Structure 1
Amino acid sequence: MTEGPLKTKLQSCENKPVSINSFVIGHRGGGTLQFPEETVQSEDAGARMGAGILECDVSFTGDRGLVCRHSLCDLHTTTDILLRPELAKKCTVPFTPANATSAANALCCTSDITIAEYSSLCGKQDGFNASALTVKDYQSGTPNWRTELYDTCGKVMTLNEYIDLVDAYPGYRNFTPELKTPPAQVPMPFKGYTQQQYAQDFVDAFRNKNIDFSRVWPQSFLYDDVVFWLQHDHAFGKQAVYLQEFDTPADLAAGMKNLSIARAAGVNIIGPSLPMLLSPGGPDNKTIVESEYSKAIKANGMDIIAWTYERSGPLATVKSRDEYYFESIANLTHYDGQYFDVLDVLVNQIGIKALFTDWASTVTYFANCFGLKGPDASKYK
């Protein structure tokens, strides 16, 4: 980091006790830099590093079981399903090796298999080798800033197992499940299973476990899901995070116009990606500042929970890699100490209520140092 008040403040907290903090949301578990995502091991790591809220992305299986997986159709890159011939043959697109004109390919969805079959899988670091000639070689492809050291059969979870796991951690932990949007390969209704049934089953999983809804911060990219919860399970829906990923100026402009509509429908929290919140500014546009979109969210009376921190690898190469999470400020990011500059803007300029992170310890340190508390369930009506 460059010398200055922020560095001095962070250094002053070096020996300060660090505790569990609900400002910190364990993204895909919170230990994703080193452990396979959406696994018990990633959740354990995120919890040990102080994340007060832990995530499970919720997908459904062919027999309508709810499981933790970031996408309905990522099993071929995040699990060992292709190494299980009896399950690999059920994939939407079976493995085909690379050839002179095409990359290696596969597509395996949670909806291709049963919940019991899903639970037999091993989680691995997300990645694949596009040049692979064999299924074994296809398992590679982990970004070089992560590690495969702990790819030793990560324990995948059902939604019920996730709820039990988080509820059993020492200290007080909360939940942020995300209802995943089914991709085009899994059209809804799926064998009669509607999006609203899916959204209701998602709620009922917590009700059946007697989890107080004040501990649950549900999420979805689908506006209709959030409105459904607000209308049918308001105690659940009032803390719902309406996730957003608008990349073009036209999308951002349209999103800005729709903020008042979302607020009128009862939406309390918007969940934008980092590039939606950060912009160049100051003299010669050489300073990271709050975006106009961020200001518009707050002007409409809604809180912000942002995503995703430490998912980008070394900042010196984010521009050359077209790294998504820093695309709006790629010309300004050159060294890893600027991760803290980004945190400073998010917290002390924008005032976000919580932050998703792939490695919970960094944000936990920052949150404890600045006395952050996380979102307040009592304020949402």
Structure 2
Amino acid sequence: MPSTSSYTVGLCALLQLGTALPAPWGSSKWPHHGNGKGDQSGINVQVGPRPYYLVDNMDDGDLKDQLEACSEKPISTSHFSISHRGAPLMFPEHTKQGYIAAARMGAGIIECDVSFTSDRELVCRHSNCDLHYTTNILAKPELAAKCTSPFVPYNPETGEEASAECCTSDITLAEFKSLCGEMEATTYNALNTSEYMGRIGSTPDWRTNMYAYSCADTVSLKEYISLVDSMGLDFTAEAKEPEVPMPFQGDYTQNDFVQQIVDTFTGANIPASRVWLQSFLPRDIYYWLENDPDFGAQAIYLDERGDTSTKAYEKAVASLPRLAAKGVKIVAPDLWQLVAADNATGKIIPSTYATTARDVGLDIITWSFERSGPLESGGGSYYTGINHLINNDGDEYTVIDVIAREIGVIGIFADWPATITYYANCFGL
């Protein structure tokens, strides 16, 4: 059994990864990060064992040697490392605990996907209507009764799956704040709400419920801004496409929604230079460019148009010069759109999307690493087109290297930011 002193030191090290929370939103007790400008003081960034596991798992070669050579290098915050939904590989997404874990892993930019409540307050949630599988709302009868679609159990006779739909717009901000975040999951053969909810339900076996058994704090946009600002980090906020009819309540328009996001940052005295707004809707990007050009200059067009077919992909590539001509500065396709297979050499290379975007002067960000689970079987949809070249977890760094150094992206979203932070520190990004 370890001594009391060694046990205490070990416990403190574990708590630094996010289970111990600094007090209150925006607490001045957070040490300053230096805001990515080279100041090494502040939070003691720790990437944990996963990056080293990935490097060990790589095929032998120059890249593996380079990454191994960085194994004892000090680690610091990098803006190249962008937290996707917090740290949802292990922490409930868009929760205070997940954001802090991401900061501990060196993410220089933290994401809030923005949705709105019935009283038109802004909150961090990946989807307008995901509360039934990312929170405990169904365990609260008074709130479950307000859901767009109440829980319906699995029907073993017909095979009809269990279902529910609960939206942020169904409830007020105060009611939203009473919820606990849970790991994203559902059980489609659930006979009751306890079986259906994520904590007990079908969380993928490569994630964990370890940090979801206590109540993970749901977060408003204002709380997110206060917390991230207190850590000296930067912001990326996505205007989620509403899943309810707009104008909401008859007069709250899409423009009202995206303007409210900007107004919340300006109301908190956050300069536009620290904010990367996002949207899958081109009209949102154009609105910011026209009405809030300082924010529009760093607005990210999330581009998944090429996901549906080869023809759609080619059309998306052909449109990139027009996007640049309209003032769009940054595009963010999912990672598979940026890479292709050179079957003659067995290498992963930049795609036509990547080379075209670069040629027309667009900056590129991509998403989302650490979302596919184990890569031994080809990596799934995020590795479409190169699946046959992916056969071990270490191949993740092979793809990251192509995207980072051959394509020259300016940032990478990850569900476990430590993976990107390690790479970024190794190559000075």
Take 1:216 and 1:348, find their aligned partners in 2: how far apart are those partners? Answer: 24
Take 2:81 and 2:323, find their aligned partners in 1: how far apart are those partners? Answer: 25
Q: Counterpart of 1:291?
A: 351
Take 1:79 and 1:327, find their aligned partners in 2: how far apart are those partners? Answer: 31
Deviations along 1:236-271, one digit per CA (max 9) or x if unpaired, are 110000001121112112212221221111111001
Matched position secondary structure for 2:128 = coil
1:14 Cα deviation after fit: 1.0
Q: Counterpart of 1:302?
A: 362
Q: Does 1:359 align with 2:416?
A: yes
Q: Counterpart of 1:177?
A: 237
Matched position secondary structure for 1:161 = helix
1:19 Cα deviation after fit: 0.5
Amino acid at match of 1:7: K
1:135-214 paired onto structure 2 within 5 Å: 135-139=193-197, 140-151=201-212, 152-169=214-231, 172-183=232-243, 186-191=244-249, 192-214=251-273
Q: 2:188 aligns with which of 130, 142, 145?
A: 130
Take 1:342 and 1:267, find their aligned partners in 2: how far apart are those partners? Answer: 26
Take 1:164 and 1:311, find their aligned partners in 2: how far apart are those partners? Answer: 27
Q: Counterpart of 1:217?
A: 276
Take 1:264 and 1:277, find their aligned partners in 2: how far apart are those partners? Answer: 21
Matched position secondary structure for 2:82 = strand
Q: Counterpart of 1:334?
A: 391
Matched position secondary structure for 1:219 = strand
TM-score, normalization by structure 1: 0.94
Take 2:88 and 2:109, find their aligned partners in 1: how far apart are those partners? Answer: 15
Q: Counterpart of 1:311?
A: 371
Matched position secondary structure for 2:80 = strand
Amino acid at match of 2:247: P
Amino acid at match of 1:279: A
1:232-271 paired onto structure 2 within 5 Å: 232-245=291-304, 246-247=306-307, 248-271=309-332
Take 2:253 and 2:85, find their aligned partners in 1: how far apart are those partners? Answer: 25
Matched position secondary structure for 1:301 = coil
C-alpha change, 1:361 and 1:232, in structure 2 (3 Å) is: same
Amino acid at match of 1:276: Q
Matched position secondary structure for 2:68 = helix
User: How large is the RMSD of aligned CA atoms in angstroms?
Assistant: 1.0
| Residues 312 and 318, structure 1, Cα contact 8 Å, conserved in 2 | no
Q: Counterpart of 2:128?
A: 72
Amino acid at match of 1:113: I
Q: Counterpart of 2:72?
A: 15
| Residues 300 and 332, structure 2, Cα contact 8 Å, conserved in 1 | yes
Take 1:61 and 1:260, find their aligned partners in 2: how far apart are those partners? Answer: 37
1:282 Cα deviation after fit: 4.6
Matched position secondary structure for 2:385 = helix
Deviations along 1:262-305, one digit per CA (max 9) or x if unpaired, are 11111110011011111111516x32111111111111110100
Moved over 6 A (4+): none
Q: Structure 2 stretches of 5 or more lacking a match?
A: 1-57
Take 2:339 and 2:140, find their aligned partners in 1: how far apart are those partners? Answer: 43
Amino acid at match of 2:124: C
Amino acid at match of 2:358: K
Q: Counterpart of 1:377?
A: none
Amino acid at match of 1:4: G
Matched position secondary structure for 2:164 = strand
Take 2:108 and 2:136, find their aligned partners in 1: how far apart are those partners? Answer: 30
Q: Does 1:93 align with 2:124?
A: no
Q: 1:43 aligns with which of 99, 119, 127?
A: 99
Amino acid at match of 2:94: E
Q: Counterpart of 2:110?
A: 54
Q: Counterpart of 2:82?
A: 25
Q: Counterpart of 1:371?
A: 428
Amino acid at match of 2:119: D
- Which one is further off, 1-10 or 247-256? 247-256
Take 1:328 and 1:32, find their aligned partners in 2: how far apart are those partners? Answer: 26
Take 1:93 and 1:132, find their aligned partners in 2: how far apart are those partners? Answer: 16
Q: 2:164 aligns with which of 92, 101, 106?
A: 106
